[in-house]
Amino acid sequence: MSCATLATGLLDLDVARARLIAAAEPLTGEEHVPLAQAAGRVLARDVVAQLDMPGIDNSAMDGYALRLAELVAAGETGLPVALRVPAGAGVTTLPEGGCARIFTGAPVPEGADCVVPQERVTRDAAQRIRVAGEALPGANVRRRGEEYRAGERLLPAGTLLDAAALAMLASQGIAEVALRPRLRVALLSTGDELIEPGIPYESGRVYNSNRVMLQALLAQAHCEVIDLGIVADTPAALHDALVCARDGADLVLCTGGVSVGEEDHVRPVLEQLGGLVFHGVAIKPGKPFAFGYLDDGTPEGVPLIGLPGNPVASLVSWQLLALPFVHGCQGRTVGPLERFPVRAGFARRGAPGRTELLRVVLDWQGGHPVAHLAGGQGSHMLRAASQAHGYLLMAADNDVEEGHDYPYLPGGQFLV
Ligand code: AMP
Ligand code: MG
């Protein structure tokens, strides 16, 4: 693959996203992991069913298994209960002229063609049953293989294992799965002003918010974090930190110093150490964003993503840009952003030249969602970001008009 051409000016959000997704090279190799430790990880291989599902004809209800024709023939006399079949019992045969007391999940006796739920059955002192209402052939019987057959593909390689997928693998008796390796991400915070929480506050210093935020986001994305702490705002310090970071990492992620000020060294040092692919995305917050490669500046090098220093800008550009790249490197298929129209409950001036992602909360009291600003919208204002349900997406230069619909990006999509 050749190095992408250097873009000039700010990139459109969708273009920047598409370029990152296209640039993501899935990690090779696999590791075998017990099911209990596989949540949130990505399958390295297709999983094929080993057993029919269900494995036997079994009852969907607590009730009585019977032959319909015998029920009809018995009429008011009723059918005698001749068998009792709990879940876990072996396969039995239904005696002629009798029915079986049966429980959910228990094997339907051979010869029975219907299960009648217990709620519709009366049982007399002589242990004969009568059924209220109609009974249909095949009712309440889960047929062997009706969901899928042994040999069918259950999950393709690249699937993220969520709770339901893990449960399905367990239902097949699978105890261990072949997974993609974890992505190793070196994390750096740049800024001479930064101090760590726990240190007494000094006027003019800034507590490092991005470090713990990105540690959490990387953990949510099931990455292995190599935390390199705070780097001073000098080209030499950043150079040395990036040289150290690229060893043993699949991706280098840094925050701050990505703009074009005199104290912003990420871009020049990246150009010196490797190559910049693009810089600057037309979103608010999140404009200062750098993507490139360390080593030789080609995709054979270690990719570097430089996120903005302002914490909300850092969060938004992680969610919209860095996360799809990470997912691509993990071998996941990356879909388009989930969005649907939501009414604005406020008016606001649009952002010149940039798509704006307003942090909003949804009010459902009227039966349909109405978006309200979650609080101050500055790119440093974490309170609104911490309370928002998602983003209202405003096209560049467009004012928000109260009562009009705009695309809404639910925040939950960035958690999976
Ligand atoms: P920069 O992109 O380095 O110019 O930083 C932009 C703003 O974000 C400045 O106000 C920085 O102090 C602030 N900032 C940078 N890094 C962090 C961080 N890790 N945590 C909190 N604020 C930061
Ligand atoms: Mg800085």
In a domain, 402, yes or no: yes
Last residue of a domain, one of 329, 349, 374: 329
Q: 385 and 299, same structural domain? A: no
Query: How many domains is the chain partitioned into structurally?
Result: 4
Query: Which pTM was predicted?
Result: 0.91
Q: 275 and 227, same structural domain? A: yes
Q: 166 and 48, same structural domain? A: yes
Q: Which residues line ligand 1 (CB under 6 A)?
A: 189, 191, 193-194, 206, 208-211, 255-259, 264, 288, 308-311
Q: 325 and 224, same structural domain? A: yes
CA of 356 relative to ligand 1 center, distance in Å: 20
CA pair distance 179, 176, nearest whole angstrom: 9
Mean of per-residue pLDDT scores for the chain: 95
Q: 364 and 325, same structural domain? A: no
Q: Whose CA is nearest to atom 16 of ligand 1?
A: 309
In a domain, 334, yes or no: no
CA pair distance 321, 214, nearest whole angstrom: 14
* pLDDT at position 41: 95
From the CA of 197, which ligand is nearest? Answer: 1
Q: Whose CA is nearest to atom 11 of ligand 1?
A: 309
* pLDDT at position 300: 84
Last residue of a domain, one of 305, 329, 353: 329
Domain of residue 171 covers 40-53+152-179
CA pair distance 290, 42, nearest whole angstrom: 27
Task: Point out the ligand 1 atom lying closest to the alpha carbon of residue 233.
Answer: 3
CA of 296 relative to ligand 1 center, distance in Å: 28
In a domain, 360, yes or no: yes
The pLDDT of 259-266, averaged and rounded, is 93
The pLDDT of 145-167, averaged and rounded, is 97
Confidence of residue 371 (pLDDT cuts 50, 70, 90): very high
* pLDDT at position 333: 87
Confidence of residue 2 (pLDDT cuts 50, 70, 90): very low
Cβ-proximal residues to 139 (8 Å cutoff; 6+ apart), any chain: 114, 115, 116
In a domain, 105, yes or no: yes
* Residue 4, pLDDT above cutoff 90: no
Q: 306 and 234, same structural domain? A: yes
* Residue 206, pLDDT above cutoff 50: yes
* pLDDT at position 81: 98
Among 7-21, 158-172, 194-208, 265-279, where is mean pLDDT lowest?
Answer: 7-21
CATH number at residue 238: 3.40.980.10
In a domain, 115, yes or no: yes
pLDDT in tens, 247-256: 999 999 999 9
CATH number at residue 84: 2.170.190.11
From 195, 214, 255, 317, give the residue whose CB has the most ligand 1 atoms within 8 Å, as the site to mutate.
255
Q: 210 and 123, same structural domain? A: no
In a domain, 335, yes or no: no
Q: 188 and 324, same structural domain? A: yes
pLDDT in tens, 114-144: 999 999 999 999 999 999 999 999 999 999 9
Q: 305 and 225, same structural domain? A: yes
Q: 189 and 168, same structural domain? A: no
Last residue of a domain, one of 274, 307, 329: 329
pLDDT in tens, 293-332: 998 767 789 999 999 999 999 999 999 999 999 999 999 9
* Residue 26, pLDDT above cutoff 70: yes
Q: Which long-range contacts (CB under 8 A, 24 or more apart) does 84-93 make?
A: 85/59, 85/109, 91/56
In a domain, 32, yes or no: no
Q: Whose CA is nearest to atom 4 of ligand 1?
A: 257
From 187, 194, 196, 253, give the residue whose CB has the most ligand 1 atoms within 8 Å, as the site to mutate.
194
Q: 308 and 175, same structural domain? A: no
* Tokens standing for residue 298: 């080609």
CA of 256 relative to ligand 2 center, distance in Å: 5
In a domain, 35, yes or no: no
Q: 77 and 121, same structural domain? A: yes
